[in-house]
Structure 1
Amino acid sequence: MTEQLSFLRPVTWMGTDDVIIIGGGLAGLFCALKLAPRPVTILTAASLGRGASSAWAQAGIAAAVKEGDTVEKHVADTVTAGAGTVDENIARLMAGQAADRIDDLLRFGVPFDRDLEGRLEVAREAAHSEERIVGVQGDKAGKAIMEALVATVRDTPSIRVLEGYVVQDILTQGKYVDGVVARDQAGRGPNKIRLPARAVVMAAGGVGHLYSVTTNPSEARGGGIGMAARAGAILADMEFVQFHPTAINVGKDPAPLATEALRGHGCTLVNDAGERFMVPIHHDAELAPRDVVARGIFEQVKSGKGAWLDCREAVGATFAEEFPTVFAYCKENGIDPVTELIPVIPAAHYFMGGILTDANGRSSLDGLWACGEVTSTGAHGANRLASNSLLEAVVFAARIAEDIQGLLPAHKLNPWAQDSVELTEADDDGTDTEAMATLRKTMSDEFGVVRTGEGMKAGLAIIMELERNNQRQRFDNALITAKMIAVSAIRRHESRGGHYRTDYPEPVAELAKRSFITKKQGDQFAEDMIANGNSEKLSV
């Protein structure tokens, strides 16, 4: 097989793929399926579905499918949670197409929960005014969705899957993207291969692994954003990182997650003294927006009071049946959630920033589309509404497929001797290098739940030092993304949503707008800041 694969994928491929999709999570797989029967190649670093944050999503997908709920209510909740920077037109488009995308997922075999009359069951989560979370067995939505899509993709002959390939570069001719360069982790052919394409869809996931405490897999290190930035793409809202309030605090990397649906179910947050500390902080207490709850828990942990999720009364003896995933996490770590409190801590969970895209998923580079967590569509603003992430992924993946079909009406066929390549043993097992560990600690310490101007400037200096000493291209992509987060956070002189600064603790009305940056601008800002003695008083 190795000889055959080497022949098929020389350093310069003689053919041209119609569409290359980078990433095997929900957004990438859904886009590939919506493009069928057009020939598509999916490149993924891990086995299909394994390195995707989508598979770990517990609660489900937000959709106004319950009687009495409306798209306008969903949009209103999204805008409120987004803290003043949501693009309402994008949010309305997303919410308006939710029901159709749920139907698609049902056709692909996703076993969403239904009531005795056959209607979709829905649950409520924080900052939602209605019950609108469509899920699977309490906390198995992400796993069930990905299993169904992976099976469907493997049965779709127009989709070729290349597993174990780390994409490192986006190829451009002028402003037009015309392919990618990938590294084969398993040594099945040339170390690097060049794959030309008529269209490239970036669906490489988020940035959680840039932080020491995260719920994301090791593949979520911002590589797709860094690649796009190096190619010249505009990035947006890079300062807005969402920290899930209730990662289970048992020292695991990544940290297991206690789904927000537990708090929607009535579970409460208490400190060591048994005090419900969220009650005086916000009128919605445990169901306040995620940034508020994350900061509340962070302060309790930082002050030594501890933070615990109490599910004993609200769930109790039915825990294993209602929330099997969380129950298994707890039992694996010696916790019985039926009778004991669950220790919790905020963890980097979701990224509102990323590659700037329009309503059709187009980036600022011709030939490059993007969907999923790697993007900043404007739908989430400064603070994502719970369970809007999977919705955004499928809505814009479908819109990208429709856009590409319209722009490239005649597809080209390549002789594919192998529909998929199974990952055997990769040379990158996700273990952090010393430099990566330094970066993760820096991001958690200085660009985490609570930020300070002086701390962020010190953090940016460490990132720049890592850049100067780096000789690994994959790490370079992660460093670029971290640097753009750092610069964007330093430039926003206020607190808003997922971005909270103790030196600028209040929102500023005139800054209630999205932020945009290119790599060139970010590099210049960083160099000027160092040259000016770390002064951040530069133009935003």
Structure 2
Amino acid sequence: MIITRYVGDLEKDSPIFYSDFLIIGSGIAGLFTALKASTYGKVIVLTKKTLLDSNTKLAQGGIAAAVHEEDSPFLHLEDTLEAGAGLCEIDAVDVLVREGPQRVRELIEAGATFDMKDGNVSLTKEGAHSKARVLHAADATGEAIRSALVQKCQESPDITVLENQFLVDILGDHNQQECYGALIYDTKKNQTNIYISKSTIIAAGGNGQLYKYTTNPDVATADGMAAAFRAGCSLIDMEFIQFHPTVLFSRDTQRFLISEAVRGEGGLLYNKNKERFMHKYHPLEELAPRDVVSRAILNEMMTKDSEYVYLDMKHIPNVTKRFPNIYENCLQNNIDITKNLVPVSPAAHYTMGGIQTNTKAETNLYSLYACGEVACVGVHGANRLASNSLLEGIVFGQKIIDNVEEILYRRKITPEEVFKNYDSTWVFTSENPTIEPNQAKKQLQEIMWEKVGIIREETGLKQANTEITEIYKNLAPSDNIVSYYEAINMLTVARIIVQASLWRKESRGGHYRSDYPKRDDVRWIKHMSFVNC
């Protein structure tokens, strides 16, 4: 499966736009970085659909930070390393936990509001945390943060936010490993635009839509990872996919998440026979790391021939006030959490891997940065600690702005350089265009869920590899150009996930091989990275 350099055509008459900071993505990472960058120059934020479409909006549990006097960055570091199963980069985790509290204070200064108790910020405890350190706004924390950042960004005269802008390709000099900007498709005007910038920041989110069942919105199609990979960036730790254990069971592809905080507040899991079971799998029971809980639920479903297990929230004090969003969504499905058990099952939720960056959020392309879920700086290792994702976005967004002097003194890129370094023979073309993009996506999602999901093994992974390659070879262009681009991106990143899963012959964190069920610290305390040569 040959991955080409480009998927889109660079046209001479395309409009050209300039900025100091080009930010692709409008979740917490993109908006926080934009707000910080606006002090120093002109910022353009491009978002795939609208400002409402991101994983940040859907984040329920909260944001973790050691802000209480009985907590400390060191304890937060210990918990993060333990959850990461030996693969966290300790220098990156140290940055996360030490700088996290100050970044959270800045969120509050920007207008984000969190629940209070007795005059102080209310903190809850989630799975694998040793202390209550998760700040929350009921069960809609992400939306509280997102709305505050959106308002601040819209008030700034130096920030331009453009909706319905699809990332097609990263532009630059492939030989010199330098980024010039991005090729963007405006889905409302049906035209391709060129953006040239002193710095390009990818904050485009994850790839949950690769799976048949996911908590992610429909925009999470791996666009940022795929475009960066085509441009020459390394993708690392791609075998580690987090499946959230408690997602409201339904027949829908995109499913509603039941926050980790529910179990932190005392929610209990029961199997089909109404028996508690987590004590059989981990001493922390319901508060075990997410990968453990997901596999435990899957095992109970298989042994009891059931499509789900139950989550009991009835005994949680003031449960409708603590989790009003969950309460309302469950009511829409005829489930009253004050009276009924809630049917839940796992779904794809988060990608631990991504575009490889250092602690300055730099990629291996000069002037190209990445932060948030799209990036992998090493803070999550093989399994992300609950509520560390929102924190990661703002901490490493700030690290980009800490490098602002180098960004602003960069030479001006000319359109001539952009066109000179573009080669139309490097644009993807299918060998035998017979599969429509929407059909390709559905086939891919089924393959990934069945063969590259919570439990994997060699035969299934090899079959997945063959099937994905065939879909890629036979992908046909479509009148819906965005769907076509998305299909290419999803197939590109899926192939890397499959290959990484095949090569890692052990089980660790979010990667579990039934044919290699043990963790192997002798051979596999290492990362795997992939580069488009």
* TM-score w.r.t. length of structure 2: 0.89
Q: Residue 334 and residue 506 in structure 1: after superposition, are their counterparts in 2 closer, same or farther (change >3 A)?
A: same
Q: What CA deviation, in whole Å up to 9, does each residue of 1:406-434 have, x standing for no partner?
A: 4324899xxxxxxxxxxxxxxxxxx9811
The CA deviation at 1:438 is: 0.6
CA offset digits 1:356-377 (Å, max 9, x no partner): 0000000011111000000111
Q: Which amino acid aligns with 2:27?
A: G
Counterpart of 1:503 in structure 2 is 515
**Equivalents in 2 of 1:237, 1:353: separation in Å?**
4
Q: State the distance in 1 between where 2:284 and 2:85 align.
A: 16
Whole-Å separation in 1 of the counterparts to 2:92 and 2:13: 40
Cα displacement (A) at 1:12: 3.9
Give the match for residue 47 of structure 1: 50
User: 1:198 Cα shift?
Assistant: 1.5
Contact 1:23 1:204 in 2 (8 A): yes
Partner of 2:271: 271
RMSD: 1.9
TM-aligned CA distance change 1:405 to 1:32, over 3 Å: farther
The separation in 2 between residues aligned to 1:361 and 1:410, in whole angstroms, is 17
Structure 2 gap ranges (5+): 1-10, 413-435, 477-483
Contact 2:271 2:309 in 1 (8 A): yes
Is 1:439–2:444 an aligned residue pair? yes
Partner of 1:463: 468
Task: Check whether the contact 1:35–1:405 (CA below 8 A) recurs between aligned residues.
Answer: no
Match of 2:93 among 91, 94, 107: 91
Equivalent position to 1:307, from 306, 309, 315 = 309
Q: What is the aligned partner in structure 1 of residue 497 from structure 2?
A: 485
> Match of 2:423?
none
Matching residue's letter, 1:499:
H
Equivalent position SS for 1:489: helix
Contact kept, 8 Å, 1:84 with 1:512, in 2: the verdict is: no
Q: Which residue of 2 aligns with 1:454?
A: 459
Q: In 2, distance between residues paired with 1:180 and 1:369?
A: 13
In 2, the alpha carbon distance for the partners of 1:131 and 1:143 equals 21
Q: Which moved more, 1:75-84 or 1:154-163?
A: 154-163
C-alpha separation in 2, matches of 1:14 and 1:291 = 45
Say whether the 8 Å CA contact 1:85–1:512 is kept in structure 2.
no
The farther-off stretch of 177-186 and 300-309 is 300-309
What is the aligned counterpart of 1:77 among 55, 76, 79?
79
Equivalent residue number for residue 255 of structure 2: 255
Report the secondary structure of 2:121's partner residue. coil
Other-structure match for 1:22: 24
Secondary structure of 1:477's match?
A: helix
- Verify the 8 A CA contact 2:16 2:194 in the aligned structure 1: no
Determine the structure 2 residue equivalent to 1:124: 125
Q: Give the aligned residue type for 1:335.
A: I
* Match of residue 136 from structure 1: 137
Question: What SS is found at the alignment partner of 2:23?
Answer: strand
* Residue 110 (structure 2) aligns with: 108
CA deviation profile, 1:368-394 (whole Å, cap 9, x unmatched): 100000011100000000000000011
1:358 aligned partner: 358
Write the distance in 1 (CA, Å) between the matches of 2:57 and 2:469. 33
- Go from structure 1 to structure 2 and tell me whether the alpha carbon gap of 1:410 and 1:363 turns closer, same or farther (over 3 Å shift): closer
Q: In structure 2, what is the equivalent of residue 537 of structure 1? A: none
Displacement of 1:63 after TM fit? 0.4
Q: What is the SS of the residue equivalent to 2:220?
A: coil
In structure 2, how many angstroms separate the alpha carbons of the residues matched to 1:221 and 1:180?
A: 18
**In the alignment, what sits opposite 1:200?**
200
The 10-residue stretch of structure 1 (320-329 or 13-22) with the greater mean CA deviation from structure 2: 13-22
Distance change (3 Å), C-alpha of 1:208 and 1:441:
same
Quick check: 2:16–2:195 contact (8 Å CA) kept in 1? Answer: no
C-alpha offsets along residues 99-123 of structure 1, whole Å, 9 cap, x if unaligned?
1111110111001122222x21110
Q: Against the structure 1 CA distance between its residues 514 and 219, is the aligned structure 2 distance closer, same or farther, given a 3 Å change threshold?
A: farther
Q: Give 1:371's aligned residue.
A: 371
Distance in 2 between the 1:197 and 1:340 partners? 54
Whichever residue aligns with residue 89 of structure 1, its letter is D
SS of corresponding position for 2:373: helix
Q: Which amino acid aligns with 2:473?
A: R
- In structure 2, distance between residues paired with 1:42 and 1:511: 43
Measure how far apart 1:504 and its partner are.
0.2
User: Does the 8 Å CA contact 1:208/1:216 hold for their aligned counterparts?
Assistant: yes
Measured at CA, do residues 314 and 452 of structure 1 come closer, stay the same or move farther in structure 2, by a change above 3 Å? same
Q: Partners of 2:330 and 2:390 in 1: how far apart?
A: 25
Separation in structure 1 between the aligned mates of residue 17 and residue 381 of structure 2, nearest angstrom: 41
- Further displaced range: 339-348 or 249-258: 249-258
Residue of 476, 494, 499 corresponding to 2:506: 494
TM-superposed CA distance for 1:319, in Å, is: 2.3
Are residue 56 (structure 1) and residue 36 (structure 2) matched? no
- Looking at structure 1, the residues matched to 17 and 512 of structure 2 have their Cα atoms a distance apart, in angstroms, of 49
The answer to whether the 8 Å contact 1:127/1:386 transfers is yes
Matches of 2:13 and 2:530, distance apart in 1 = 30
Q: Secondary structure at the residue paired with 1:372?
A: coil
Give 1:183 deviation, angstroms.
1.0
Whole-angstrom distance in 2 between the partners of 1:391 and 1:367: 23
Partners of 2:16 and 2:112 lie apart in 1 by: 38
- Partner residue, 1:417: none
1:13, 1:196 within 8 Å by CA — same for their partners in 2?
Answer: no
The alpha-carbon deviation at position 172 of structure 1 amounts to 1.2
Q: What do the CA deviations read for 1:293-327 (whole angstroms, capped 9, x no partner)?
A: 00011112233144110111234xx2221101111
Cα displacement string for residues 184-209 of structure 1 (whole angstroms, at most 9, x for unaligned residues): 111x26x2112122211000100111
Distance in 2, Cα, partners of 1:231 & 1:511: 31
Distance 2:244 2:203 in 1: 22
Corresponding letter in the other structure for 1:199 = S
Q: Which residue of 2 aligns with 1:170?
A: 170
Using the TM superposition, give the Cα deviation of residue 520 of structure 1 relative to its aligned residue in structure 2, in angstroms: 3.5
Report the counterpart of residue 480 of structure 2 in structure 1. none
Is the deviation greater in 296-305 or in 78-87?
Answer: 296-305
CA contact (8 A) 2:269 2:278 kept: yes
Change (3 A) 1:89 1:512: farther
Write the distance in 2 (CA, Å) between the matches of 1:301 and 1:400: 44
Deviation of 1:15 (Å): 5.2
Give the letter for the 2:226 counterpart.
G
Cα shift at 1:517 = 2.4
Contact 1:240 1:499 in 2 (8 A): yes
One-letter code aligned to 1:231: A
CA distance in 1, matches of 2:16, 2:123: 50
Number of matched residues?
490
Matched position secondary structure for 1:16: strand
Amino acid at match of 1:200: T
- Do 1:235 and 1:353's aligned partners in 2 also have CA atoms closer than 8 Å? yes
Q: CA deviation at 1:515?
A: 2.0
The corresponding residue for 1:535 is none
Give 1:475 deviation, angstroms.
1.8
Counterpart in 1 of 2:487? 475
